[in-house]
């Protein structure tokens, strides 16, 4: 009915709650410390210190003005330093915490400012020390505001956590983006959004309740500390008990997630290999994470893309096997075979450099044009050496192409748009074959390429179970094994 | 005992030096209730805040029970402050704590056991007559009750000195009197030295033994309260005492009088102040019989200032100029405080 496994949903709920709780706990503690420091070092306050105040103030302003998504990527080296990896839920927690600390620090500063100066003065006149003023006067007197601020912080963390998918953090937000948005599964989107709304509501109601029942704060803090400790222990225990290697493979969110679930089952059954699938939301980080050792392999790109990334970033990465090709095809509503193509016919192709070259190579394969010698995956329409039918080749935004069938005689469509244009792959007049350079590949680090474990990974990806799952998801030849 | 020596306090805002207190010298005896009065902005709060170093003096010495507070380390200063209680105009109670917990706060700060704290707090709340409000929160108390809690809190660590900064200024007259009465009782019971800062002469009149008048950061007059009432010298003192004694001259007369005698305005307007039981009646008769001077009473007031009766009257003297002069000399020999306000 939902067309996707329910256990993924519960997993996502658990990941979200875990991320929110741990990052909320840490950012409230550190935010409170920084907030108190910001307050007491102000002019005319109990610990006036211009240097500390201005330093902290600057730091808070800087971190608060960096968009979360950029902060998350910018702190990758820091994340690796403290938890040893830059991907996964715990990596997301580091960036969430770092983003929320200055946010809560400001809220604390404002809440503490509302404590009447006279009350602090009274405590000083009793001979209270600075720590006593903080713990016995400032925090208890500002408690209601501090709790409301903490509620606000946790709720904005829920929002931020939706972006955690970029570093493979998982959670409901990633699920909504992956299944709901990218795969357009409205039911999944609706359910995840509903669950997020429910979580926000519960947090808000609990915060409001606690802000009025201040005597219960102690108990809640105690429970939170215990829960936090058990999270820490829960995180470290599996590593100590279960030393069987987990083998991390990076993919990009989409139908591949379902394929990789099957692959993981096959790997476990046939090779006792624990595949851990790390899902990314963008096309840069899977290579970055592979190159710096956070994952062992990735499966999401084709050779031309890998080459461009190696060229741009100097990665030491190599492809070890092909998986599937999702062929590009040439489609038409005016003709039924290429012989019918008249002189000066109009052909529409995608305008992004990678797909433009890909379409031109397909036209060459159909013997409609000849490209200048040596021009392959970097070809543009200016590299056409021979065009006997004087075809008019125009480049357009890929998303625009399905609407061009009235004006164009022939249109080049990538896999994503075939269904939208009302075709199936079989109806293509020409399509890419298994030896196209645009087949998906398994990529590993150069120094690891001869490890036997990769032979197993290749075998898994080429196994009948995986093939049949892919054919189920991409029927009518929309995906073709590229290794045969 | 409190000694303030050559105390000066400046605030410098953007290099403009603003002198708030200049060369203050005070000696307050053990067990005394000492008033500090002045108009708003005179520097009273700054002065009393200097006495426990909540405000740091620019120069001078603050000596309490023989120890100069400015010589103390941070730790020792905190210990010294525990022996200097303070109460405030706006009570400054912790709204998150009950009455009990507020009074317990200073005891918690010195890490006393729960049992000791309990006994002490109960005793203190009994002293300030608030035993029935022990679990109430400050928000549910009246102004007078809040100040009682604040007093109990200030007394918790058994101070030898109590500083009060406008403690009754936010209260109505009736509540003010009950709080002042309480302070007086405590002063007697505990032999506590009290410094009462106020802008209201009525407060000074009700409980203080001695008073210093502060104006623009300087002490312009100080002495026994009754002396200030019967013979104020400084213009600020005069205004402050007049208001309490209801001795404002009627406008008709005030507009008429001249500072120096002239041909048509030669009758002196005389302010006569006295302490004790002597009354006006036989005096006026004596003046008439002995000097042939008629003393016309314009205003008169008798007041009890704590236990002493003081009287002040304003009279117009009529008679021959030499006779009036002799009459005035005679009054001074009778231990009366005489001041010529002008001539009508
Ligand atoms: N922190 C401060 N900075 C600058 N000026 C101050 C400060 N505190 C008080 N003053 C000035 O000192 C003067 C005396 O203030 P204060 O002691 O509060 O007077 P009072 O209590 O007699 O009304 C006022 O003119 C006030 O403006
Ligand atoms: Mg004041």
Residue B41 CA to ligand 1 center (angstroms) comes to 6
Beta strands B193-198 and B161-165 are parallel
- Residue A243: per-residue pLDDT: 41
> Rounded to whole angstroms, how far apart are CA atoms A131 and A141?
15
A104-120 as b/e: b if 16+ CB within 10 A: bbbbbbebbeebeeebb
- Residue A171: per-residue pLDDT: 84
Residue B277 pLDDT greater than 70, yes or no: no
Q: Where are the beta strands (DSSP E) in A234-282?
A: 246-252, 274-280
| Set of chain B residues whose Cβ sits within 8 Å of the Cβ of A118 | 88, 90, 92
> Rounded to whole angstroms, how far apart are CA atoms A371 and A384?
5
CATH class for the domain made up of A246-326+438-481: alpha beta
- Residue A1: per-residue pLDDT: 45
- Residue A84: per-residue pLDDT: 82
Q: Please judge whether A126 and B106 are an interchain contact, meaning their C-beta atoms are less than 8 angstroms apart.
A: yes
At B272, list the tokens.
């006569």
- H/E element, A289: helix A285-291
> Rounded to whole angstroms, how far apart are CA atoms A30 and B17?
40
- Residue A373: per-residue pLDDT: 87
- Kindly report the pTM of this predicted structure: 0.79
The segments of chain A whose pLDDT lies below 70 read 1-5, 178, 180-184, 236-245
Residue B55 pLDDT greater than 90, yes or no: yes
A155 or B261, greater pLDDT: A155
Using an 8 Å Cβ cutoff, are A433 and A370 in contact? no
> Rounded to whole angstroms, how far apart are CA atoms A390 and A408?
14
> Rounded to whole angstroms, how far apart are CA atoms B62 and A333?
101
Using an 8 Å Cβ cutoff, are B33 and B44 in contact? no
Instruction: Classify the C-alpha dihedral A234-A235-A236-A241 as positive or negative.
Output: positive
Percent of chain B with pLDDT over 90: 69
Interface predicted TM-score (ipTM): 0.90
Q: Is B114 left (phi over 0), alpha (psi -120 to 50) or beta?
A: alpha
- Residue A69: per-residue pLDDT: 83
At A454, list the tokens.
């990769």
Task: List, in sequence order, every residue forming a beta bridge with B268; answer none if it has no partner.
Answer: B343
B215: helix, coil or strand? Answer: strand
**pLDDT tens digits for B185-233?**
999 999 999 999 999 999 999 999 999 999 999 999 999 999 999 899 9
With bands split at pLDDT 50, 70 and 90, how would you rate the model's confidence at B302? confident
For residue A125, give the nearest of B81, B93, B94 by CB distance. B81
> Rounded to whole angstroms, how far apart are CA atoms A426 and B7?
99
Domains A246-326+438-481 and A329-431 share a fold: yes
Q: Which ligand is nearest to the CA of B166?
A: 2
- CATH tag for A6-240 (out of 1.10.540.10, 3.40.50.10700, 3.40.50.720, 1.10.3720.10): 1.10.3720.10
Q: Which residues does a 6 A CB cutoff place in the pocket of ligand 1?
A: B 11, 13, 18, 20, 38, 40-46
Q: What are the structural domain ranges in chain A?
A: 6-240, 246-326+438-481, 329-431
Q: Where are the beta strands (DSSP E) in A99-207?
A: none
Residue A403 CA to ligand 1 center (angstroms) comes to 77
- Mean pLDDT of the B314-337 span: 88
A273 DSSP assignment: -
Q: Whose CA is nearest to atom 1 of ligand 1?
A: B11
Nearest residue of B to residue A116 by CA position?
B92
Instruction: Classify the C-alpha dihedral B25-B31-B32-B34 as positive or negative.
Output: positive
- Residue A183: per-residue pLDDT: 61
Q: Is B329 on the interface with A (CB under 8 A)?
A: no
The mean predicted confidence, pLDDT, of chain B is 92
- Residue A68: per-residue pLDDT: 87
Q: Which atom of ligand 1 lies at the shortest distance from residue B166's CA?
A: 21
With bands split at pLDDT 50, 70 and 90, how would you rate the model's confidence at B305? confident
- Nearest C-alpha of chain A: how many angstroms from B92? 5
Residue A292 makes CB contacts below 8 A (sequence gap 6+) with: A80, A86
Residue B40 CA to ligand 1 center (angstroms) comes to 9
Q: Please judge whether B157 and A125 are an interchain contact, meaning their C-beta atoms are less than 8 angstroms apart.
A: no
Q: Please judge whether B95 and A141 are an interchain contact, meaning their C-beta atoms are less than 8 angstroms apart.
A: yes
Question: If one looks up domain A329-431 in CATH, what number appears?
Answer: 3.40.190.10
Q: What is the CA radius of gyration of chain A?
A: 28
């Amino acid at each position: 009915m939902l067309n996707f496994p329910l256990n993924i949903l519960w997993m996502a709920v658990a990941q979200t709650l875990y991320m929110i709780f741990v990052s909320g706990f840490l950012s409230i503690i550190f935010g409170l410390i920084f907030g108190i420091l910001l307050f007491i070092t102000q002019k005319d306050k109990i610990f006036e210190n211009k240097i500390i105040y201005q330093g902290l103030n600057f730091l808070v302003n800087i971190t608060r003005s960096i968009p979360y998504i950029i902060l998350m990527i910018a702190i990758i080296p820091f994340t690796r330093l403290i938890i040893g990896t830059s991907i996964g839920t715990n990596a997301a927690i580091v960036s969430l915490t770092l983003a929320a600390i200055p946010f809560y620090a400001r809220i604390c500063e404002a809440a503490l400012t509302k404590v009447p100066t006279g009350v602090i003065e009274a405590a000083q006149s009793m001979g209270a020390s600075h720590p006593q003023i903080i713990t016995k006067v400032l925090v208890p007197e500002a408690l209601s505001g501090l709790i409301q601020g903490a509620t606000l912080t946790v709720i904005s963390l829920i929002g931020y956590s939706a972006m955690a998918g970029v570093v493979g953090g998982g959670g409901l937000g990633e699920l909504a983006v992956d299944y709901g948005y990218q795969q357009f599964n409205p039911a999944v989107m609706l359910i995840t959004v509903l669950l997020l709304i429910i979580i926000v509501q519960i947090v808000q109601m609990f915060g409001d309740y606690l802000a009025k029942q201040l005597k219960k704060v102690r108990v809640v803090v105690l429970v939170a500390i215990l829960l936090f400790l058990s999270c820490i222990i829960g995180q470290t225990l599996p590593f100590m008990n279960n030393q069987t290697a987990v083998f991390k493979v990076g993919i990009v969110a989409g139908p591949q997630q379902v394929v990789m679930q099957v692959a993981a089952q096959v790997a476990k059954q046939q090779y006792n290999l624990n595949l851990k699938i790390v899902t990314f939301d963008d096309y840069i980080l899977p290579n970055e994470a592979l190159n710096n050792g956070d994952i062992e392999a990735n499966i999401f790109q084709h050779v031309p893309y890998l080459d461009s990334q190696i060229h741009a970033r100097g990665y030491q990465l190599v492809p070890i096997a092909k998986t599937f090709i999702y062929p590009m095809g040439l489609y038409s509503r005016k003709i039924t075979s290429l012989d019918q193509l008249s002189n000066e016919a109009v052909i529409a192709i995608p305008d992004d450099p990678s797909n433009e070259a890909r379409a031109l190579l397909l036209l060459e394969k159909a013997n409609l044009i000849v490209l200048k010698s040596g021009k392959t995956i970097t070809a543009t329409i200016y590299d056409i050496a021979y065009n006997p039918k004087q075809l008019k080749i125009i480049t357009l935004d890929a998303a625009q192409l399905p609407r061009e069938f009235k004006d164009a005689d022939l249109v080049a469509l990538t896999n994503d748009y075939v269904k939208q244009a009302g075709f199936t792959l079989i109806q293509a007049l020409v399509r890419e074959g298994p030896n196209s350079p645009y087949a998906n590949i398994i990529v590993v680090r150069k120094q690891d390429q001869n490890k036997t474990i990769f032979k197993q990974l290749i075998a898994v990806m080429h196994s009948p179970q995986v093939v049949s799952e892919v054919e189920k998801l991409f029927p009518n030849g929309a995906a073709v094994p590229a290794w045969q | 005992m409190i000694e303030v020596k050559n105390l000066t306090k400046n605030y410098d805002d953007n290099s403009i030096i603003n002198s708030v207190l200049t060369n203050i010298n005070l000696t307050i005896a053990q067990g005394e209730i000492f008033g500090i009065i002045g108009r708003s902005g005179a520097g009273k709060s700054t002065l009393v805040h200097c006495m426990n170093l909540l405000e740091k003096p620019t120069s001078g010495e603050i000596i309490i029970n023989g120890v100069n507070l400015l010589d103390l380390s941070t730790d020792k200063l905190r210990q010294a402050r525990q022996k200097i209680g303070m109460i405030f105009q706006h009570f400054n109670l912790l709204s998150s704590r009950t009455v009990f917990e507020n009074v317990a706060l200073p005891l918690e700060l010195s890490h006393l056991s729960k049992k000791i704290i309990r006994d002490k707090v109960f005793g203190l709340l009994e002293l300030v007559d608030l035993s029935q409000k022990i679990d109430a929160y400050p928000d549910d108390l009246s102004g007078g009750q809040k100040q009682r809690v604040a007093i109990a809190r200030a007394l918790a660590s058994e101070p030898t000195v109590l500083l009060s900064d406008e403690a009754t200024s936010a209260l109505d007259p009736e509540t003010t009197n009950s709080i002042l009465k309480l302070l007086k009782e405590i002063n007697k019971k505990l032999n506590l030295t009290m410094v009462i800062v106020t802008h209201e002469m009525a407060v000074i009149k009700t409980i203080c033994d001695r008073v210093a008048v502060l104006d623009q950061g300087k002490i312009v007059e100080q002495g026994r309260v009754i002396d200030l009432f019967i013979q104020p010298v400084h213009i600020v003192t005069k205004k402050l005492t007049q208001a309490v004694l209801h001795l404002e001259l009627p406008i008709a007369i005030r507009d008429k009088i001249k500072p120096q005698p002239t041909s048509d305005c030669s009758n002196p307007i005389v302010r006569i102040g006295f302490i004790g039981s002597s009354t006006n009646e036989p005096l006026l008769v004596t003046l008439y019989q002995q000097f042939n001077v008629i003393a016309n009473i314009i205003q008169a007031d008798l007041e009890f200032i704590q236990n002493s009766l003081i009287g002040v009257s304003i009279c117009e003297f009529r008679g021959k100029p030499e006779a009036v002069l002799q009459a005035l000399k005679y009054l001074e020999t009778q231990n009366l405080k005489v001041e010529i306000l002008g001539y009508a």
